[in-house]
């Protein structure tokens, strides 16, 4: 039996988490073409509810925000009702669950939007071969740059999604500002070539995220709102030469809000842009004084070390949780982990297969 720091409770402001292990947000594409959260999804989250904190898969805030096949939304009454299956199932197990708010920005495609182009801070296309769309693989397209006077509308979509998350029974929300999706592309000089007040300086590039945080914290207390960043990542063709300056500034500004946590994808499992030295949790610890979550490629040993050394309070696990619904018990009892699921099942619309059909460890 392990007596590791990972199994110590943690006070996430007014929430008491039973351990330091977080279910990372992972897109699993089980919401069907209507994007309706359903009972199968509720079963999936309930199976993993021994985690100290559960963060849902990325969930779109509007029709315009879509860009991933069969991922769930939170912008209609039916979607809000559908998420109650999950919040009820998880709360029955005594667990805490946050909804991750998502706008895909330029990593979408016109076929998700009745032929209209995806939106972004600037008209810069993803330099990668293809995207999976409702009509199969398609080449990436040049997005449409949002007009300055449209930005308040997008910010308001985040606010309305936060209100729906509250109505659906979530304990909080996480603003997805990572991985080359809309907010991240505003933050980074590689993808933000704007000349208005949302572009140019590090301060201006942060403005959109700041306005989203202000909108969401007008609905939720700040200590129930997290933000996710990916300073080291290349996913969706990201990585900017001034990344350290930008993300240091962003973290220092977010520190003023009293947020629930900052969720940093510090690990390199999604690739590293190699535009400077990797940004570490220790670096973020110096500038952000609230709870810190590390993520991306952690093993149990790496997680224990990060928490024991004080660099993080919580560590999020993604892939190991796919095929190990009882990951917490396996860590705690030194039981072996199941083989990672086939990648072809991760995002497949195959219902339970590769989703809720992984058994708990039998001994």
* Residues involved in catalysis: 181
Task: Provide Rg for the chain, Cα atoms.
Answer: 19
Q: What are phi and psi of 79, to 5 degrees?
A: -65, -45
Q: What gap in Å lies between CA 61 and CA 335, rounded to an integer?
A: 39
The answer to whether the CB of 314 falls within 8 A of the CB of 22 is: yes
- Rounded alpha-carbon distances, angstroms, from residue 355 to 77, 257, 325, 351, 359: 26, 36, 10, 7, 11
Q: What is the DSSP letter of 134?
A: T
Q: What is the DSSP letter of 112?
A: G
Q: What is the DSSP letter of 113?
A: T
Q: What gap in Å lies between CA 177 and CA 181, rounded to an integer?
A: 7
CA angle 267, 268, 270 (to 5 degrees): 115
Q: Which distant-in-sequence residues (6+ apart) come within 8 Å of 327 by Cβ? A: 21, 48, 50, 51, 317, 320, 321, 337
- Rounded alpha-carbon distances, angstroms, from residue 198 to 66, 161, 194, 206, 261: 22, 22, 7, 7, 25
The alpha-helical segments, DSSP class H, found in 227-280 are 243-254
In 121-231 the beta strands, taken as DSSP E runs, fall at: 131-133, 136-138, 144-145, 172-176, 225-229
Question: Would you mind telling me the total number of residues written for the chain in this entry?
Answer: 363
């Amino acid at each position: 039996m392990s007596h590791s720091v990972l199994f110590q409770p943690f006070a996430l402001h007014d929430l008491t988490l039973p351990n330091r292990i977080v279910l990372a947000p992972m897109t699993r594409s089980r919401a069907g073409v209507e994007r309706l959260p359903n009972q199968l999804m509720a079963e999936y989250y309930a199976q993993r509810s021994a985690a100290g904190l559960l963060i849902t898969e990325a969930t779109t805030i509007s029709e315009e925000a879509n860009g991933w096949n069969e991922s769930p939304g939170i912008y209609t009454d039916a979607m809000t009702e559908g998420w109650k299956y999950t919040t009820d199932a998880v709360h029955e197990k005594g667990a805490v669950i946050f909804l991750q708010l998502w706008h895909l920005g330029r990593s979408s495609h016109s076929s998700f939007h009745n032929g209209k182009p995806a939106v972004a801070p600037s008209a810069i296309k993803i330099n990668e071969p293809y995207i999976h769309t409702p009509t199969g693989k398609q080449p990436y397209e040049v997005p449409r740059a949002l007009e300055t006077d449209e930005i308040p509308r997008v910010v308001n979509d985040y606010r309305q999604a936060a209100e729906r998350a509250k109505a659906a029974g979530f304990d909080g929300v996480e603003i997805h500002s990572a991985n080359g999706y809309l907010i991240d592309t505003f933050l980074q000089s590689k993808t933000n070539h704007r000349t208005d007040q949302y572009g140019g300086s590090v301060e201006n590039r942060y403005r959109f995220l700041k306005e989203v945080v202000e909108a969401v914290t007008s609905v939720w207390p700040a200590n129930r709102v997290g933000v996710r960043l990916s300073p080291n990542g290349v996913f969706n063709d990201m990585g900017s030469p001034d990344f350290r300056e930008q993300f240091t500034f962003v973290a220092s500004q977010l520190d003023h809000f009293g947020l629930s946590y900052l969720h940093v994808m510090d690990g390199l499992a999604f690739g590293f842009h190699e535009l400077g030295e990797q940004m570490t949790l220790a670096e973020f610890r110096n500038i952000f004084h609230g709870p810190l979550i590390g993520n991306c490629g952690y093993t149990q040993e790496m997680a224990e070390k990060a928490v024991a050394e004080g660099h993080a309070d919580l560590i999020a696990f993604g892939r190991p949780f796919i095929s190990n619904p009882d990951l917490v018990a396996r860590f705690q009892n030194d039981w072996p982990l199941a083989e990672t699921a086939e990648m072809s099942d991760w995002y497949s619309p195959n219902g339970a297969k590769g989703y809720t059909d992984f058994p708990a460890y039998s001994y």
